[in-house]
Amino acid sequence: MADIDQVAADSNFVADIVVAAELAADTVAADTEDAAEIVQRQDMDKHSSYGDY
């Protein structure tokens, strides 16, 4: 019986790691999108400021 409990505990542990990895991947993707938006905004600011001079 102990072996079955151990297997169940191990599979729960693996499932937790997979979920954590998916969350981390989602966070990285969101950060990358944010960074891309910031760069785009800076480019737009540069272009619009040229017209002021």
Domain ranges of the chain: 25-53
Statement: residue 52 has pLDDT above 70: no
Query: Would the pTM count as exceeding 0.85?
Result: no
Q: What is the mean pLDDT of residues 8-33?
A: 90
Statement: residue 1 has pLDDT above 70: no
Closest CA to 45 of 34, 35, 37: 37
> What's residue 51's pLDDT?
59
What residues contact residue 12 under an 8 Å CB cut-off, 6+ apart?
none
* Each residue's pLDDT tens digit, 28-45: 888 998 888 888 888 888
pLDDT cut 70: percent of the chain above it: 85
